[in-house]
Amino acid sequence: SNQPLIAPSLLSADFARLADEMAAVGGDSGGGADWLHVDVMDAHFVPNLTLGLPVVQSLQKSTDIPLDCHLMIDDPDRWAVGYAEAGVHNVTVHAEAADEPVGLAKNLRAAGAKAGLSIKPNTPLEPYTDVLKHYDTLLVMSVEPGFGGQKFIGEVLEKTRRARRMVDTGHLNLVVEIDGGINTETIEQAAEAGVDCFVAGSAVYGAEDPARAVEGLRSQAIN
Ligand code: DX5
Ligand code: ZN
C-alpha cells in the first residue's frame, strides 16, 4: 500500500444534485477524491434500490473523477459489462452473486475496465484466492451491504490483513478496498490492516465541507 485512495460514496449525497455533489469532492473545488464510489442496488441482492446504468452513463459524462461502481445486484454476469462499456474505471461485482466470476472479470477487462470482486462481512476470502488472480480490486465489505451510515464491523479486519499478506507475498495483485462505516474513528484501524482504498459515504457527504473531509480521512490513512 503506497498512497491511500479515498473514494467518497455518492449513496450519502443528494440524488437531485449528483453533478454538484461529484464536483464538491474533486475538480474545481480542489478536493481530492481519487475514485467516486457509486452504489448500484437492485432491491433483490440487497433490500434497497438506488440507481442503474442510465444514471451511471450520465455521471460518467459529468466528471473526470474515475468512477468505482459497486454492483449490489443479482446476475452481474448479465449486467456488469454495460458499466465497463460506459467507461466506468472499476466495476465491482459480488462474489456471492456472480455465477462465472473468472469469465466475468475477463469480460470486464476486455471492455476496458478494472475488475473488482466484493465479499460481504461473513463471506470468507480463501475460497476466492484463485478467482482473485483475475481481478484488480478486492472490496471487503465492513457492513452488511444495502445502506449507508451503519456501524463498522471490526471482525473483517482479520480477513483484510490476510488479503494484504497475500498481496505482499506476491500471491495476489490487488487493490484492497474497504467499504462501510469508514470515518475518523475507524479509518486508522483499516489503514493498519493494510487497506489501499477507503470508501466513505456519510463521513464525507454528512460533513459540512466534503472536500475537507476527504483530505482529513486521507491524512489519517497515511499515519
Ligand atoms: C453500503 C454501500 C456503501 C455505503 C457506505 O452498502 O456499499 O458504499 O455508501 O456508507 P458509509 O460510509 O456511510 O458506511
Ligand atoms: Zn459500496
9 lines ligand 1 (CB under 6 A): yes
Which pTM was predicted?
Answer: 0.97
Query: If residue 6 lies in a helix (H) or strand (E), which one and from where to where?
Result: strand 5-8
CATH number of the domain residue 27 falls in? 3.20.20.70
- pLDDT band (50, 70, 90) for residue 2: confident
**Which residues are catalytically annotated?**
39, 179
Distance, CA 142 to ligand 2 centroid (Å)?
10
Distance, CA 9 to ligand 2 centroid (Å)?
7
Enclosing domain of residue 93? 5-222
pLDDT cut 90: percent of the chain above it: 96
The pLDDT tens digits for 31-76 are 599 999 999 999 999 999 999 999 999 999 999 999 999 999 999 9
Please state the ipTM of this predicted complex.
0.99
Atom of ligand 1 lying closest to residue 201 CA: 12
Q: Which residue, by CA, sits nearest to atom 6 of ligand 1?
A: 145
The pLDDT tens digits for 84-93 are 999 999 999 9
Tell whether the model's pLDDT for residue 223 goes beyond 90.
no
- What's the structural domain count of the chain? 1
Atom of ligand 1 lying closest to residue 11 CA: 9
